[in-house]
Amino acid sequence: MTTEIVVDNGKPAIVLSRSKMRIGRAIRQGDVLVQRISEIPAGCVARRRRDLAVGVRTSHIACDPAQTFEREDDEAIYIESASPWRLAHDEHGEFVLPAGRFKSWTQREFAHIAGRVEERRVRD
């Protein structure tokens, strides 16, 4: 099975079908992971912003028509869209994801500094 690539506004995007993005499957775009989930958890509230992670120079953006949600006790960002949506980033390219619900989180790194372990988010 081949992967479909589309070009929109001069930028190529990898198109992921529903069969490739079944519940539980995830993709990685730089330091951001996006996993298909069955439903948005209870207690989530809509966000005004669509950035999934803010980088040093650019951000990972969930483009229209996607809506993003967050929950106070969780660092993940949740995405819901009734139609295919784009995950955009200037340096990592774009993905077109199918309609559905998704969970997004940022990769972590652990550094051993002065005899202790320090956890931090990766920022590219």
Q: What is the pLDDT of residues 100-109, one digit of tens each?
A: 999 998 876 6
How far apart CA 60 and CA 95 sit, in angstroms, is 11
Q: What is the pLDDT of residues 60-87, one digit of tens each?
A: 576 777 889 999 988 899 999 999 988 8
Q: Which helix (H) or strand (E) holds 51?
A: strand 51-54
For residue 89, the one-letter residue type is H
